[in-house]
Amino acid sequence: MTAATAEADLTILVIDGDPDRAAVVERGLVEAGWLRVSVIGPSVNLLQRVQALGPDVIIIDLENPDRDTLEQMFQVSRAVRRPIAMFVDQSDSAMIRGAVEAGVSAYVVDGLRQERIKPIVDMAISRFNTFDRLIRERDEAQARLADRKLIERAKGLLMKNRGLAEEEAYTLMRRTAMKQNRKLSDIAQSVITAFEMEF
């Protein structure tokens, strides 16, 4: 997915309410050879910024409330450079579906050939998906870390208050979890709650 030299002159604007995701998309595009990439965040005077930048392609997150504003701008635009939604050219409906599912929408200057836009939209889709996966993994890692802390704390409470060895405390919780068909961290939470209520 490298931009041919001839394509590198396209001006791309990334609009995203999430600055972290915008940065991920921007980096992906720049690393692939599109050098003229700008990023704008939420709550700016969108129309003026877009008009000043005059992008060939706009990548904007599907959920962005500014899309309604952006679309109207295109509809009333009397300028030669008239951007349109990428949905107009349905020659690659798989790409469009992929974009909508990934939460990407794109607007392009009318007349720009589909094959010039496709790699840009593909890159944005892949970056959105990667970003989603990273966020999910981070959340899961945080949840696992939180679970481990709970289990450690419950183990400590059982050792201190019931005189169990570390291994015994762990086995007791593990067995209870299996018997009740619950997660080990839930049992740990119950243990903590029980001791906290006692004191």
Partner 1 sequence: MSETVKLGVVPLIDCAIPVVAHEMGFAAEEGLALDLVREASWAAVRDKLAFGLLDAAHLLAPLSLAMTAGLGGTPAVPVVAPMALGLGGNGITVSTALFERMKEAAPEVMAGPRGQSARALGKVIEADRAAGRPRLSFASVFPFSSHTYELRLWLADAGIDPDRDVNLGIIAPARMAESLHMGWIDGYCVGEPWNLRAVQRGVGVVVAAKADIWPNAPEKVLGVREDWAAERPDTTAALVRALVRAAQWADAAENRPALAAILADMRYVGVSPKILEPALSGRPVLRPDAPAEALDRHIFYRWQATYPWPSRAIWLLDRMVEAGQAALSAADATALARRVFRDDLYAAAVESLGVPVPEADVTVIGTHDAPRDVPARGGGTVTIGPDLQLGRRTFYPFGRDAASEAT
- Which residues of the chain form contacts with partner 1 (CB under 8 A)? 45, 47, 62-69, 71-76, 84-85, 87-88, 90, 96-97, 100-101, 105
Cα→Cα distances 97→57, 86, 91, Å: 18, 11, 12
Q: How far is the CB of 176 from partner 1 (least distance, A)?
A: 33
The residue (of 18 and 71) whose beta carbon lies closer to partner 1 is 71
Q: How far is the CB of 71 from partner 1 (least distance, A)?
A: 6
Q: How far is the CB of 59 from partner 1 (least distance, A)?
A: 14
Q: How far is the CB of 142 from partner 1 (least distance, A)?
A: 23
Q: Contact 104/125 with Cβ under 8 angstroms?
A: yes
The residue (of 37 and 84) whose beta carbon lies closer to partner 1 is 84
Exposure pattern of 66-97 as b/e (b: 16+ CB <10 Å)? bbeebeebbeeeeeeeebbbbeebeebeebbe
* C-alpha–C-alpha distance, residues 38 and 97, integer Å: 25
The residue (of 78 and 113) whose beta carbon lies closer to partner 1 is 78
Token readout for 21 is: 């995701």
The residue (of 69 and 193) whose beta carbon lies closer to partner 1 is 69
Burial of 98 (0-12, 13-18, 19+ CB in 10 A): middle
